[in-house]
Amino acid sequence: MKIQIINGPNLNLLGKREPDIYGNASFDTYFTQLQQLFGSECELHYFQSNHEGAIIDKIHDVGFSYDGIVLNAGAYTHTSIAIHDAIKAVTTPTIEVHISNIHTREEFRHKSMIAPACKGSVVGLGLFSYELAVRYFAINTLSI
């Protein structure tokens, strides 16, 4: 099973950026832990970009050949109809994840433009949100 994790803007700063919200771990460190946890079950790939078009290109690249996409679109969650459309254009199911609980933060973060295009969402559980999304794909073996 092949799973693509995609992180959007500013998530390259995990471990440094607002640790009270996002924690102290870098995503690279966490990704290594995910690979160890799911190593025999899933082939995990990771991509991060601060650019909307690069995120869309990655969704297009893997959206017909991978078994799942785990997407933290960062602030694009609340603004990007283009990412919403890219998710809908491909056959690979996507799960939206967020480290923080977007529903308890600033009001402009309460609405996700991408959620209606996704299979589901995991929010507010820290980095564990990613593990739950990957686990969903692993357990369901895409009988979805």
Question: Could you give the residue numbers annotated as active site?
Answer: 22, 98
How open is the CA angle 85-89-92, to the nearest 5 degrees?
Answer: 115
Q: Helix (H, G, I), strand (E, B), or coil: what is residue 123?
A: strand
DSSP bridge pairs for 98: 123
| Beta strand segments in 49-106, E | 68-72, 94-98
Q: How many CA atoms lie within 13 A of 94 on its CB side?
A: 29
Q: Helix (H, G, I), strand (E, B), or coil: what is residue 62?
A: helix
Please name the residues in contact with 53: beta carbons below 8 A apart, sequence gap of 6 or more: none
